[in-house]
Structure 1
Amino acid sequence: MEDKEYYSVGEVSKICNISKKAVRFYDKIGLISPDKVCDDNNYRFYNRKTLLSVPIIKYYKQMGFKLEEMRSFLEGGTYSMLEKAFRQKIDNLKEMESEIFKMYTSVKDWYDLILEAEMVIENNVREVAVKYIDASNLCFMEQDFNYNYMESIVNIDFTNYIESIHNEITGPVMISFPSFKERMEGKSTRILLLQKTILPCQEDEVVKFGGYMVASCYHIGAHETINDTYQKICDWAAAHGYKCAEESYERYVTDYWTTRNSGQFVTEIMIKVTRE
């Protein structure tokens, strides 16, 4: 920076790496006032000391303070005033951090499901496989079931319940059937609706899922034809020396939440198995 007594708006813009528009706006709102104004042409000039306010403004901006708030800081407020302003900003940022975490978790989990479904469809993954399910706690609601998949998956009652306990859902919807045989025969009347929540739940609000081996198979397409995949699991288990438990889980990777094209639905069927 050239050592001068005064600097023009253009020079301030170049030296401090801010736009001329910003310099003029700071002047307009009284954030940085010129140290010299020419009477004949109203040109504004700033001394070196005033230029040093720009890095401070940038740092306050980095912390999220508004320009109006910065004015009182630059004017030389008391430590008590500064402490109060910074404490309020910390509280606001913590609240923003919490909201961003919720949004990020929701978007990331949904993005992962879209990628999973895309790979399943592109590679036509329909084989049965045995895998271990990590134990987790899922929020749940017991409900009547009438084979209306759309209303069960995009569930108003469950959404209202989650809101009532001041939480938010993320990840795939899951349905637990007490008996997969009754489910295949169209006789299931009660289910457990399961889903992960972003915030921790109370002990009585969750049910344990996983911690065991399952026979898993993806079903591609409408839910009305899902019995074919159940039968595939049963036949595979019998042929490979596995015994299926009664309970089954349907994990809706993509469904009505993502698309109304049922041909693009991807559902993972899981049945707990043990060696016979």
Structure 2
Amino acid sequence: MADEFYSIGKVEEICKITKKALRYYDRMKILSPDKVCDENGYRYYSKKNLLTVPVIRYYKQSGFKLDEMREFLGGRASYEYVDRRFRKKIDELEDIDKEINLKIRSIKDWRQLIDEAEMVLANNVIDVSVKYIDSRKLIFLNQEFKYDYMDSIINIEFCNYIDSVNNAITGPVIINFPSYKDKMNGKCNSMKIMQQTILKCKDEQSIEYGGWLAACCYHIGKHENIGETYKKIENWVENHGYKCFEECYERYVTDYWTTQNTNRFITEVIIKIRR
């Protein structure tokens, strides 16, 4: 093995690694040629040195950067040192894994809302229906309401609050109004914005949403005439022997977060009801 030497071109062929990468490894002092010809600068690698390439690949596969793996390739590091470095890398990769899973969850939930909106638009789903709203915990923030829907939905104060408590949100924005009649008649001045968190939040930061029966109806189009959908629900409830509670919710399926075309906004109006 000691007498076998391979040119950089042969190493490229055998190890399926580019000459550019080999030169870079040399500059980084990760894998250097055993000898360099004085006359022409040609690089030659021993068979033993070639066997470093699979090790480098495995370290790269495991998430190590070149300057990190340099410490291991010499073979002189103690097991205790390697163990410490490996445990540190595991912690780093687990943090990356959490971040990637958070992003996947966010995109999947957003895509589901788009699918829901497409279903509503394709089938013109605008009839009132009775639903049981499953109970769940949502993070919330009490705010003033000024009928500025864009400001209320793409809510800078709420986004800053989520950041301040080191959490992340997903799914639709839901706004709770204390009185559906005031909301319908343009007299509402307070709201509670709510959304699902990806990470667990403290009890004092969350509120129970759902666990009750509701009359629901999709509103298609701009928010400024959403009072018409409230009136439709109110009439339906009266005609079907139900009674409305005062508070109501608007669940924004697609809105300014997704499109600027207000004709394609989908909002689910939700009013708690009882017999």
> What is the Cα deviation at residue 146 of structure 1?
2.3
How does 1:101-112 map onto structure 2 within 5 Å?
101-112=101-112
2:107 matched to 1:124? no
The residue that corresponds to 1:52 in the other structure is 51
Question: Mean alpha-carbon deviation: is it higher for 262-271 or for 123-132?
Answer: 123-132
The residue that corresponds to 1:249 in the other structure is 249
* Distance across 1 between alignment mates of 2:43 and 2:146: 76
The residue that corresponds to 2:261 in the other structure is 261
Query: What is the CA deviation profile of residues 31-86 of structure 1, one whole-angstrom value per residue up to 9, with x for unaligned ones?
Result: 11222433333222222221111111001001111111222211122223322322
The residue that corresponds to 2:153 in the other structure is 153
The amino acid of 1:189's aligned partner reads N
> What is the Cα deviation at residue 242 of structure 1?
3.1
* Distance across 2 between alignment mates of 1:23 and 1:160: 47
2:212 matched to 1:212? yes
Tell me how large the CA RMSD over aligned residues is. 2.0
What is the DSSP-based 3-state SS (H/G/I as helix, E as strand, rest coil) of the residue aligned with 1:172? Answer: strand
* Distance across 1 between alignment mates of 2:92 and 2:135: 35
2:81 matched to 1:78? no
> What is the Cα deviation at residue 98 of structure 1?
2.6
How does 1:212-251 map onto structure 2 within 5 Å?
212-251=212-251
* Distance across 1 between alignment mates of 2:160 and 2:100: 22
> What is the Cα deviation at residue 248 of structure 1?
1.2
The residue that corresponds to 1:10 in the other structure is 9
How does 1:83-102 map onto structure 2 within 5 Å?
83-102=83-102
> What is the Cα deviation at residue 13 of structure 1?
1.7
The amino acid of 1:142's aligned partner reads N
TM-score w.r.t. the length of structure 2 is 0.90
> What is the Cα deviation at residue 101 of structure 1?
2.7
Question: Mean alpha-carbon deviation: is it higher for 143-152 or for 32-41?
Answer: 32-41
> What is the Cα deviation at residue 27 of structure 1?
2.4
* Distance across 2 between alignment mates of 1:143 and 1:160: 13
How does 1:162-201 map onto structure 2 within 5 Å?
162-201=162-201
> What is the Cα deviation at residue 216 of structure 1?
1.6
The amino acid of 1:204's aligned partner reads E
* Distance across 1 between alignment mates of 2:164 and 2:34: 58
What is the DSSP-based 3-state SS (H/G/I as helix, E as strand, rest coil) of the residue aligned with 1:64? Answer: coil
The amino acid of 1:90's aligned partner reads I
* Distance across 2 between alignment mates of 1:23 and 1:141: 56
> What is the Cα deviation at residue 161 of structure 1?
2.2
> What is the Cα deviation at residue 25 of structure 1?
1.9
* Distance across 2 between alignment mates of 1:28 and 1:141: 55
The residue that corresponds to 1:68 in the other structure is 67
* Distance across 1 between alignment mates of 2:15 and 2:129: 62
The amino acid of 1:122's aligned partner reads A
* Distance across 1 between alignment mates of 2:91 and 2:146: 47
* Distance across 1 between alignment mates of 2:39 and 2:262: 74
Query: What is the CA deviation profile of residues 95-121 of structure 1, one whole-angstrom value per residue up to 9, with x for unaligned ones?
Result: 222322332222222222222223322
* Distance across 1 between alignment mates of 2:28 and 2:148: 60
* Distance across 2 between alignment mates of 1:128 and 1:52: 70
2:114 matched to 1:114? yes
* Distance across 1 between alignment mates of 2:33 and 2:141: 65
Count matched residues. Answer: 272
2:51 matched to 1:22? no
> What is the Cα deviation at residue 206 of structure 1?
0.9
